[in-house]
Amino acid sequence: MTSNIRSYWVLPNCPFNVYCDQGVSIMLSAGPFEHIDFQQQEYVVTIILKRPHRLNAITWDMANEIHNVLDCIDDAFPEIRAVVITGEGRGFCSGADVSDMAKRLDSEESNDGNATNYPSVTMQLAPHFRRLSQPIIAAVNGVAAGAGLGIALASDIRIASTEARFGSVFVKRSLVPDTGVSQLIGALSGPGIAYEMALTGNIYDAEWALAKGLINEIVPLSSVVTRSVELANQISSNPPLAVKATKGLINNIYPDLQQVIEAEHLANQAIRGSEDRVEAVSAFLEKREPKFIGK
């Protein structure tokens, strides 16, 4: 498989006992994976984000691992017909890990003055979800904020628990939405809801999200993965070629998500060096209220 974003991450060992696109035989092992886990039940793979102590906040390494599993499913494991993604513990995904991002950006800037790699590997998750031929169901067990909201909205179907919460919190960190969120909210719920979520940075409960069309269904927390796998199995019982073609057709309702990702990234690059951005990150890490000055 030739990918236009392959250069954004280092491909670790494939988790499946198959031949990857590089033609190298890989042993079945979860060894390379520290931040995610996966389970296969017949035609369905469940990906589990495993940083519960950080509400499954995304690091560069976690993003790489997600990309790698999706690559292996698409390239070398076509018998998988549907994917479920969920989080371990109380959170689905609380967004990008600010501490990890700050360290990585500092390292990149000190090396070559170009802090582009970290945002790309995370932001590219949304188009990768869309590009995957198998349908993806997000089992949103807890908070889905920032880039975590992007992962949920980039999935094809969203089943939320009664404990799920949703927020585009980027503005609170002096950033514009990324991971496709600036487009995905409006595509699902209309521009008014997109403006409200993106400009306030508020957190909303599952009932609100259901009423606005952001999610498909609400179930008890204990049932969110079970219900998502059940739905994935229903999809998997249909002809795979028809399912994949149908996903591709429905994806056409979205404008070019890759262009949106690039526009989001450029907007954030323009803001990233501002005093307000520095204050937003410092206040978050120090657990205090920020003081913004518009510079």
Rounded to an integer, the average pLDDT of 113-125 is 67
Average pLDDT over residues 49-77: 92
Q: Are 124 and 8 in contact (CB under 8 A)?
A: yes
Confidence band for 21, pLDDT divided at 50, 70 and 90: very low
- pLDDT computed for residue 284 by the predictor: 85
Separation CA 18–CA 63 (nearest Å): 22
Q: What is the 3-state secondary structure (H, E, C) of 141-184?
A: CCEEECHHHHHHHHCCEEEEECCCEEECCHHHHCCCCCCCHHHH
Residue 129, φ and ψ in degrees, nearest 5: -60, -45
Q: Which amino acid is at 49?
A: L
Question: In the prediction, which pLDDT does 162 show?
Answer: 99
Residue 159 CB partners (closer than 8 Å, separation 6+): 137, 138, 139, 140, 215, 216, 217, 219, 224, 227, 228, 231
What is the rounded distance in angstroms from the CA atom of residue 94 to the CA atom of residue 144?
A: 5
Whole-number pLDDT of residue 22: 36
Per-domain boundaries in the chain: 12-224+235-286
Residue 175, phi then psi, degrees to nearest 5: -135, 160
Query: Taking residues 244-262, what's their average pLDDT?
Result: 90
CATH 3.90.226.10, applies to 12-224+235-286: yes
pLDDT of 28-48, one tens digit each?
334 468 999 989 999 999 999
- Which of the four pLDDT bands, split at 50, 70 and 90, describes residue 77? confident
> Model-level pTM?
0.86
- What mean pLDDT do residues 283-287 have? 87
Mean pLDDT, rounded, for 171-179: 94
Query: Is the pLDDT reported for residue 19 higher than 70?
Result: no
Q: 104 Cβ partners below 8 Å, 6+ apart? A: 60, 117, 118
